Amino acid sequence: MSTNRNYRFISFVAAAALMAGCGPSPAGNTTAASGSTPFSSEKSVIKYAHGFTIDYHDHYKEVKILNHSGSRLDTIDYLLVQEGYPAPSGHAGAQVITIPVKNLVVLSSAHVAQADFAGVADRIIGLGDLKYVTCPVVREGIKTGKVKETGVDANVNNELIISMHPGLVMAMTNPDAAFSQYKTLIDAGIPVLPNAEWLETTPLGRAEWVKLMGALVNKEDLVDHKFDSLDQTYRQLAAIGQKASNKPSVIIGMPYKGAWYTPAGESYMAQFLKDAGASYPWANTKGTGSLSLTFEGVAPEALKADYWLNLGYVSSKKDITAKDNRFAQFKPFTTGALYNFNRRVNDLGSNDYYESGLVNPQRVLEDLIRILHPGLLPQDSLYYYKQLQ
């Protein structure tokens, strides 16, 4: 079977799965206490993410946010208790979240994408920074005044958030960070949950944090079906990319304040490149975050690389040389093989790659394969990426 026919089959299967996921919820939902929303009939199974677990009980779910950074595994415990039921005993120190969460404050655009994926973007009433959002539902909420700017990190407006009475504040903090900055909110009875998708080592692991959002709003059925569809599509695309006969070399990023940050070999971006069939010079390095290199450390690879991707806040070759005219000597610059993830930037300057790209790794991978292996997939326009001129 030809590659194009393979891909058409993938698209058909993915579309069928997605349609199934967007239909009515399966029958047989568990009936909860009078006046409360029933549990989803489905229990999410975590396959790729390493940063959280969900355990299901009669009228509550136990969520653990996992911290892998130390010599031993630490956890932060949460009890997701169905509305109308008492919290179970024997869980000292656990924060209690009443579910389904009916309104929430999110401090990152990544959390907006997760809420939108679960069909509950309209429940967002607070956002860390109003500039960084593309979701039409949230943009409309900002316009009408429903969604308020709450600030982030040390600048969080505790008084405003408390007055809003959210069912949950979703933070972007590292799970090993102290919760002292959120103590005022927690003492006021507002649970704060760290969403650490950015620490995952694979694109599918990052995307799977949508299942935590599904558990918070009792929409496991919808979320799991949609995730299964993207999971299947991603894995089938990865099989195509990894089997590509040539492996073009790729460099990533640009220097920032004297350091050139490029993905470490165990990071989710390095996995993207592997699945897209790329040769990445630092693929065998350790670490799940970024390597801090010098210009001189990257230049020997950049001079001979086939592609230069993810260049950050530049939109043209002129922008690149304005930062450093030495960039013009790099092979991808001379051949025009420069691709940045800024095709979907809105009028506020918000980049949808950082938002919906989180929950659509299959679209990111599809773009990368089209860039690195022209003709391997049916020709179509790129979704998140564009070639810089």
> Which pLDDT score, from 0 to 100, does residue 265 have?
96
> Which pLDDT score, from 0 to 100, does residue 68 have?
67
- Residue 185 reports pLDDT greater than 60: yes
pTM for this predicted structure: 0.87
Q: Is the pLDDT higher at 258 or at 73? A: 258
Question: Is position 361 within any domain?
Answer: yes
- What is the pLDDT averaged over residues 274-294? 96
- Residue 12 reports pLDDT greater than 50: no
> Which pLDDT score, from 0 to 100, does residue 65 have?
94
Given 231, 263, 296, which residue is the final one in a domain? 231
- What is the pLDDT averaged over residues 256-276? 96
Question: Is position 185 within any domain?
Answer: yes
User: Mean pLDDT in the chain?
Assistant: 89
- What is the pLDDT averaged over residues 258-262? 95
If asked whether residues 123 and 263 sit together in one domain, one would say no
- Residue 122 reports pLDDT greater than 60: yes
Question: Is position 344 within any domain?
Answer: yes
- What is the pLDDT averaged over residues 164-176? 89
Are 118 and 223 in contact by the 8 Å Cβ rule? The answer is: yes
Are 221 and 37 in contact by the 8 Å Cβ rule? The answer is: no
Question: Is position 238 within any domain?
Answer: no
Question: Is position 287 within any domain?
Answer: yes
If asked whether residues 43 and 148 sit together in one domain, one would say yes
Question: Is position 167 within any domain?
Answer: yes
If asked whether residues 51 and 116 sit together in one domain, one would say yes
Tell me the pLDDT band of 80, cut-offs 50, 70 and 90: very high
Question: What is the domain extent for residue 34?
Answer: 11-231
If asked whether residues 301 and 192 sit together in one domain, one would say no
Are 164 and 105 in contact by the 8 Å Cβ rule? The answer is: yes
- Residue 70 reports pLDDT greater than 80: no
CATH number of 377's domain: 3.40.50.1980
Given 231, 257, 280, which residue is the final one in a domain? 231
Question: Is position 327 within any domain?
Answer: yes
If asked whether residues 98 and 182 sit together in one domain, one would say yes
> Which pLDDT score, from 0 to 100, does residue 379 have?
80
If asked whether residues 202 and 70 sit together in one domain, one would say yes
Q: Is the pLDDT higher at 305 or at 180? A: 305
If asked whether residues 33 and 182 sit together in one domain, one would say yes
> Which pLDDT score, from 0 to 100, does residue 177 have?
65
Tell me the pLDDT band of 147, cut-offs 50, 70 and 90: very high
The Cα 166–Cα 105 span in angstroms is 6
pLDDT tens-place string over residues 239-249: 999 999 999 99
- What is the pLDDT averaged over residues 327-352? 95
If asked whether residues 221 and 255 sit together in one domain, one would say no
- Residue 78 reports pLDDT greater than 50: yes
> Which pLDDT score, from 0 to 100, does residue 181 have?
84
Question: Is position 3 within any domain?
Answer: no
- Residue 376 reports pLDDT greater than 90: yes
Q: Is the dihedral of CA 297, 300, 301, 302 positive or negative?
A: positive
- What is the pLDDT averaged over residues 261-273? 97
Lowest mean pLDDT among 5-9, 91-95, 285-289, 361-365: 5-9
pLDDT tens-place string over residues 200-217: 999 999 999 999 999 999
Q: How many domains does the chain have?
A: 2
Are 161 and 150 in contact by the 8 Å Cβ rule? The answer is: yes
- What is the pLDDT averaged over residues 298-319? 97
Are 106 and 127 in contact by the 8 Å Cβ rule? The answer is: yes
If asked whether residues 206 and 347 sit together in one domain, one would say no
Looking at the chain, the whole-number percentage of residues with pLDDT higher than 70 is 87
Angle among Cα 303, 288, 302 to the nearest 5 degrees reads 5
Q: Is the pLDDT higher at 151 or at 73? A: 151
- Residue 35 reports pLDDT greater than 60: no
The residue type found at 297 is G
- Residue 6 reports pLDDT greater than 50: no
Looking at the chain, the whole-number percentage of residues with pLDDT higher than 90 is 79
If asked whether residues 170 and 34 sit together in one domain, one would say yes
Given 231, 253, 270, which residue is the final one in a domain? 231
- Residue 18 reports pLDDT greater than 80: no
If asked whether residues 182 and 264 sit together in one domain, one would say no
Tell me the pLDDT band of 254, cut-offs 50, 70 and 90: very high
> Which pLDDT score, from 0 to 100, does residue 74 have?
73
If asked whether residues 250 and 201 sit together in one domain, one would say no
